[in-house]
Each structure stands twice: as C-alpha cells, then as structure tokens.
C-alpha cells in the first residue's frame, strides 16, 4: 500500500511540474512529460484533467503524454520509431478513436475528446479492447 501511495504522490508532483524546464528545441516536452509517459496508463489518467485547462501549452504537454503512452503501448521507441507500419497504424487508430485531441481545438471539442480518453483509459485498465 505504501508503494501505491508513493506512486500517486510522484504522479501528482509530475502533473504539478508539467510546465517546468521545457526542452529548448521542443518546448512541448518537459522532464515531467517524459516521466508521465513512462508511468503508462497512470500517467495518462493523471493528465486527462489538464486537457481543458486554460493554458494551451499545458494542454499540449498533456496531449504529448497521451500520445506517448499510446505509442509506447504499440512498441514505439525513441530514436527507432515503431517496429512496423501495422503498429503505427494501430496507435494512430487509437488516437483517432479518442477524438484526435488537439490542444488548440475549441473547448467543446477538447471536452468531448477528454471524455473519450477517460473511457479508453478505464477500458484499458479493465482489459477491454477499444
């Protein structure tokens, strides 16, 4: 139980710090974005509330977490990409099924996509294929 509590605290801190220390060349990536991606579904679930926050860059960073988690689930590796075109197509299909979230989209579109992401994450945790 203590490990689980520690994990929740770590993820909460990563979400709090999501805008800190952006990469100079890719300001939509921060150390917290990468660590949240590494946390998998737990990291993805933690950023869903940020998908409709006021700050567009914060929303973009949350978007990068979701994209990174999905890509990793289909075998994407930094510097190497996907193992094959089929894996890439599957990842893109998941992103599309969840509304092709765009941090610059209207509030209505963002809220719709956030709802789809919540359901997808819940389904993945329950072992449902969607």
Secondary structure (DSSP) of 51-114: GG-S-HHHHHHHHHHHHHHHHHHTT-BTTTB-SSHHHHHHHHHHHHHTT---TTS-HHHHHHHH
Average pLDDT (44-50) is: 99
- pLDDT given at position 112: 98
Which uninterrupted H or E stretch holds 127?
Answer: none
- pLDDT given at position 40: 97
Nearest to 65 by CA among 42, 44, 93, 94: 44
State pTM to two decimals.
Answer: 0.94
Inform me whether the pLDDT recorded for 38 exceeds 70.
yes
**Residue 57 CB neighbours (<10 A):** 15
Q: d(Cα 79, Cα 76) in Å, to the nearest integer?
A: 9
Which uninterrupted H or E stretch holds 37?
Answer: helix 31-38
Question: Each residue of 80-89: pLDDT tens digit?
Answer: 999 999 999 9
Average pLDDT (4-13) is: 94
- The domains of the chain are located at 2-125
Average pLDDT (33-43) is: 98
- pLDDT given at position 130: 53
- pLDDT given at position 128: 77
pLDDT band of 2, cuts 50, 70, 90: low
Nearest to 37 by CA among 24, 25, 47, 50: 47
Question: Each residue of 52-101: pLDDT tens digit?
Answer: 999 999 999 999 999 999 999 999 998 999 999 999 999 999 999 999 99
């Amino acid at each position: 139980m203590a490990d689980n509590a520690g994990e929740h605290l770590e993820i909460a801190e990563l979400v709090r710090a999501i805008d800190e220390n952006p990469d100079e060349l890719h300001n939509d990536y921060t150390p917290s974005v990468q660590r949240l991606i590494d946390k998998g579904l737990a990291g993805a679930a933690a950023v869903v509330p940020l998908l409709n926050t006021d700050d567009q860059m914060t929303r973009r960073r949350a978007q990068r977490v979701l994209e990174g988690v999905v890509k990793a689930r289909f075998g994407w590796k930094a510097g190497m990409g996907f193992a094959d075109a089929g894996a890439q197509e599957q990842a893109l299909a998941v992103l599309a099924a969840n509304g092709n979230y765009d941090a610059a989209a209207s509030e209505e579109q963002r809220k719709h996509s956030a709802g789809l992401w919540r359901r997808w994450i819940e389904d993945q945790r329950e072992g449902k294929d969607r």
